[in-house]
């Protein structure tokens, strides 16, 4: 696909001056242009008989229902089309427009990959049902992304789940986002249960929350990774390999049976390699059920978990389960604000990390948990023992000068780590904390966020230490500190003395 020539247009009239039959890859960025019921693009596309890959950006184009009809009249005649990506954000297409889209998409016979963004289009239950039923009749479709955020869907999530039977046997990757609708947690669970039962699905992403909560390991889903190396191989597989569930609004489950059905269905996917589980549901047995899934799915290599309502005893059980999952290479743990972890539970969590023997990539978000100096020391000891760890991201909150010294003292001994990101924003860190920091000399990529602290003159010492590392990439955030103009210039000049530095980003915004 990369060898084919790609053409991009921002105006339809320029497209009409081209040779339609020569187009194989087309991009149209018509965002914020008023198109209304303009039919010219559809007519032009109908003449592109060799078109294989098409991207349409109609964000805020006021396409509406008539415009959708005329566009689809042209799309359906692109008989060789295999890859189609469309953004219809804020176009008021409503139920009727979504239904029209579904009706036409089923007739694009060679379509293999489809991505549709229908955010903020006042689509309701009927529109979702008709759209999915239409798409499901695409016999060759392997990858599908549907973004239905901020519409008028409530019980329509059930319609989507019930319509999932129409998603044919060819579908391998499914990514659905339903953030900002009126869907209760029971409907979320039913949707998940139904989609988990699709026969040949290898990857399922089900999102009910704002995108920022999604794991930093998977800012791109498997949907985006078909051209990247080290992706999960989907060929010749007959089991679900990747599952992601994001639900961020705290709600109490009314029907425990539905949640148990979801957990049961997930626990049966024993070949899982990739699991992201961010359930915000309040449910008595949630911790036990998460551990049950992990005990059954021992092939997981990438694991992201949001820990809700965890107490010390729950973390102890989780830690012992994680130790059994010897294939875990990437781990993201996000402690929610409603956890009940004490110092003992935090210690147990830290002590379990070195026992995950293949762990290479760790993201630990403790921004909702206050860690005292002893806790920081315990974390440092645990990280030193993670002998295969190469990539580390930490978010810590409410630590002071002594805590920072203890943390960096330990990290300097983690000579295996080459990529380090520390978010220490909004703490009580001052000049004493950063004056004598030491760094691991094996670091290649470093990101430090000291925003919203009390740093002033010692920032020059920090810059000098950073210049002594053979870094290739350095990102330094120092906004909202007490750094004057001359200090800013000196810090930037000192950092640039690093001989191997290729990427350098520094932010002093709103420092004095």
Note down pLDDT in tens along the chain; length 512 residues: 445 778 999 988 899 889 999 999 999 999 878 876 666 899 999 999 999 999 999 999 888 888 899 999 999 999 999 999 999 999 999 999 999 999 999 999 999 999 999 999 999 989 998 999 899 888 899 999 999 999 999 865 566 666 666 676 788 999 999 998 888 877 888 888 888 888 888 999 999 886 545 544 444 555 555 444 334 444 444 478 999 888 865 666 666 777 888 889 999 999 999 999 887 766 667 788 889 999 999 999 999 998 877 888 888 889 999 989 989 999 999 887 767 788 888 898 999 999 999 999 999 998 878 788 999 999 999 999 999 999 999 999 889 999 999 999 999 999 999 999 999 999 989 999 999 899 999 999 999 999 999 999 999 999 999 999 989 999 999 999 999 999 999 999 999 999 899 999 999 986 54
Alpha helices in 17-143 (DSSP H): 40-45, 64-75, 94-105, 125-135
Entry pTM: 0.87
Q: Is 419 helix (H, G, I), strand (E, B) or coil?
A: strand
Determine how many CB atoms are found less than 10 A away from the CB of residue 470: 12
Smallest CA-to-CA distance from 89 within 113, 122, 67 is with 122
Burial of 413 (0-12, 13-18, 19+ CB in 10 A): middle
| Cα end-to-end distance, the chain, whole Å | 51
pLDDT of residue 223: 54
The two three-digit tokens of residue 479, written as one number:
């906004």
pLDDT of residue 260: 84
The two three-digit tokens of residue 493, written as one number:
């000049």
pLDDT of residue 119: 96
The residues spanned by each domain of the chain are 1-183, 422-512
Class of the domain covering 1-183: alpha beta
Beta pairing partners, 393: 363, 421
pLDDT of residue 146: 94
pLDDT of residue 402: 95
CA distance 157 to 305: 24
Contact 297, 272 (CB under 8 A): yes
pLDDT of residue 190: 83
CA distance 115 to 120: 16
Q: Is 356 helix (H, G, I), strand (E, B) or coil?
A: coil
CA distance 461 to 437: 8
Give the angle 324-194-256 at the CA atoms, nearest 5°.
70
CA distance 470 to 441: 7
Output the CA–CA distances (angstroms, integers) from residue 353 to 99, 273, 397, 409, in the order listed.
50, 19, 20, 19
């Amino acid at each position: 696909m990369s060898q084919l020539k790609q053409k991009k247009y921002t105006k339809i009239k320029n497209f009409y001056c081209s040779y339609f039959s020569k187009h194989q890859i087309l991009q149209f960025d018509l965002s914020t242009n008023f198109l209304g019921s303009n039919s010219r693009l559809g007519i032009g596309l109908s003449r592109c008989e060799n078109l294989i890959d098409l991207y349409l950006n109609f964000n805020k184009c006021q396409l509406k229902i008539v415009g959708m009809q005329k566009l689809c009249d042209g799309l359906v005649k692109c008989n060789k089309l295999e890859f189609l990506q469309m953004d219809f954000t804020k176009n008021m297409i409503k139920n009727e427009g979504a239904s029209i889209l579904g009706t036409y998409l089923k007739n694009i016979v060679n379509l293999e990959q489809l991505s549709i963004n229908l955010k903020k289009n006042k689509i309701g239950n009927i529109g979702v049902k008709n759209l999915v039923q239409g798409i499901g009749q695409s016999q060759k479709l392997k990858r599908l992304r549907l973004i239905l955020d901020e519409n008028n869907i409530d019980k329509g999530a059930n319609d989507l789940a019930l319509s999932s039977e129409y998603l044919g046997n060819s579908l391998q990757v499914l990514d659905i986002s339903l953030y900002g609708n009126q869907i209760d947690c029971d409907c979320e669970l039913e949707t998940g249960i139904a989609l988990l039962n699709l026969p040949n699905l290898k990857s399922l992403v089900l999102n009910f929350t704002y995108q920022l909560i999604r794991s930093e390991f998977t800012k791109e889903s498997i949907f985006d990774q078909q051209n990247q190396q080290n992706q999960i191989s989907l060929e010749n597989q007959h089991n679900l390999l990747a599952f992601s569930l994001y639900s961020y609004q705290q709600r109490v489950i009314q029907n425990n049976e539905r949640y148990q059905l979801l957990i049961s269905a997930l626990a049966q996917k024993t070949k899982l390699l990739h699991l992201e589980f961010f359930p915000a549901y309040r449910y008595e047995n949630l911790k036990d059920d998460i551990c049950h899934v992990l005990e059954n799915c021992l092939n997981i290599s990438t694991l992201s978990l949001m820990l809700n309502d965890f107490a010390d005893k729950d973390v102890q059980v989780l830690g012992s389960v994680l130790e059994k999952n010897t294939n875990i290479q990437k781990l993201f743990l996000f402690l929610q604000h409603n956890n009940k972890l004490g110092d003992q539970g935090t210690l147990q969590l830290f002590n379990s990390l070195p026992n995950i023997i293949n762990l290479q990539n760790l993201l630990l978000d403790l921004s909702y948990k206050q860690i005292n100096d002893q806790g920081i020391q315990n974390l440092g000891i645990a990280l030193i023992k993670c002998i295969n760890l190469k990539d580390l991201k930490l978010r810590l909150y409410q630590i002071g000068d002594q805590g920072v010294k203890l943390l960096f003292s330990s990290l300097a001994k983690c000579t295996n780590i080459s990529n380090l990101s520390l978010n220490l924003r909004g703490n009580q860190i001052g000049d004493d904390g950063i004056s004598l920091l030491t760094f691991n000399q094996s670091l290649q990529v470093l990101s430090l966020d000291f925003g919203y602290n009390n740093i002033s003159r010692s920032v020059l010492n920090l810059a000098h230490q950073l210049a002594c590392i053979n870094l290739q990439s350095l990102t330094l955030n120092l906004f909202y500190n007490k750094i004057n103009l001359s200090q800013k210039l000196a810090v930037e000049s000192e950092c640039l003395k690093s001989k191997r530095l290729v990427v350098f980003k520094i932010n002093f915004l709103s420092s004095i």
